[in-house]
Amino acid sequence: MPIIVLRDGESAGEIETKLAEAGAEYRRLTIYNKHIIVAWPDDKVRQAGIDAEPTVQTVMYTRTPYMLTSRDFIERSSFKVGRAELGSQDLVIVAGPCAVESEDQMLEVARELKACGVHAIRGGAFKPRTSPYSFQGLGEEGLKILAKTRDETGLPVATEVMDTRLVDLAARYVDILWIGARNSQNFFLLREVGRTRKPVLIKRGFGMLIDELLLAAEYVILEGNDKVAVIERGIRTFEKSTRFTLDIAAIPVIKKKSHLPVIVDPSHPAGTRDYVEPLALAAIAAGADGLMIEVHPYPEKAKSDKEQQLTPREFKDLMQKIRRLAEVLGRRIP
């Protein structure tokens, strides 16, 4: 699939005319510091004969269906998460409760997490619950608490967006948006977060192939948002001893196929706090660029995912091990 790299951001009019005349679809973008036109399908782009146009630097033909996500396009991508650069040698730690439950809960846990050196705080304001009778999240009130948490700690805050109608609202309050596992093939939602310029983390759906995850990322990038990372959070297999099966192999596979940073969420596959530490350490050993870990000031009182959330004390111990391992692997924790 072709990506047309332009010499500058101007004067692509002639190329666009030719593509349109050939019946090709195209999108002009400035992403990853490149001015490009993404055009498809292949045969119509070839027919347009734009290779010799003076404004064209090169026409890249990627070998995968996800041209913007693939390493044929760029080798590695990265973006800032607070003081760290996700996708570089930095190891980025995002932690916080499953759900925002109250201002006290968030501020208390956030202070402890900050002391442990995390780079961003997470908290769900809209919760995707299997049962409609379970706690659904505080909604906009939760977003306000997240904004306050950022103001108090100086750390960026992240939350899940479940619906296109909530994207602008969430983007007004928080710094990082994530797409939950149940929504990562909601293509309207992916496009909508792509239209924001906030970093977007896409969780792998538990029945989703790696190629499908990369195509989900493609939807976001095609809207012009180049701050995209994916999160491996476990898939469904026949094994019932853990909540989901963490696909450790997905880490090197994604890093081979795409330039995107890879985060691992060890909490949801573990399902119980005993397994969070080994999964977190395994993820780092396998090359993850970051971790997203659930931590609650009082897990036994949590309104969702109480079995798997670490106490601040447990998290502190885990951070010490993470730091030791990072050092061995030559990863920096800024």
45, 50, 98, 181: which one contacts Mn ion (CB under 5 A)? 98
Exposure string of 9-30, with b = 16+ CB inside 10 Å and e = fewer, is: eeebeebbebbeebebebebbe
Q: Which is nearer to Mn ion, 98 or 291 (CB)?
A: 98
275: tokens are: 């397994």
82, 180, 194, 271: which one contacts ligand PEP (CB under 6 A)? 180
Where is 285: in which H helix or E strand? Answer: helix 276-285
For residues 90 to 109, the per-residue mask of contacts with ligand PEP, x marking binding by CB under 6 A and - elsewhere, is: --------x-----------
Residue 101 binding Mn ion, by CB under 5 A: no
* Residue 124 phi, psi dihedral angles, 5° rounding: -85, 125
Residue 162 binding Mn ion, by CB under 5 A: no
In angstroms, what CA-CA distances link 41 with 26, 44, 65, 222, 231? 9, 6, 11, 15, 29
From ligand PEP, Mn ion, none, interface partner of 218 (C-beta below 5 to 8 A by class): none
Closest CB 145 distance from ligand PEP, rounded Å: 16
Number of residues that bind Mn ion (CB under 5 A): 2
Cα angle 111, 113, 119; round to 5:
115
Q: Which is nearer to ligand PEP, 268 or 331 (CB)?
A: 268
In angstroms, what CA-CA distances link 116 with 81, 95, 155, 156, 205? 16, 10, 12, 15, 30
Q: Which is nearer to Mn ion, 289 or 305 (CB)?
A: 305
Q: Which is nearer to ligand PEP, 81 or 181 (CB)?
A: 181
State which of positions 270-329 bind ligand PEP (CB under 6 A).
none
Residue 208 binding ligand PEP, by CB under 6 A: no
- Residues in contact with Mn ion by CB under 5 A are 98, 305
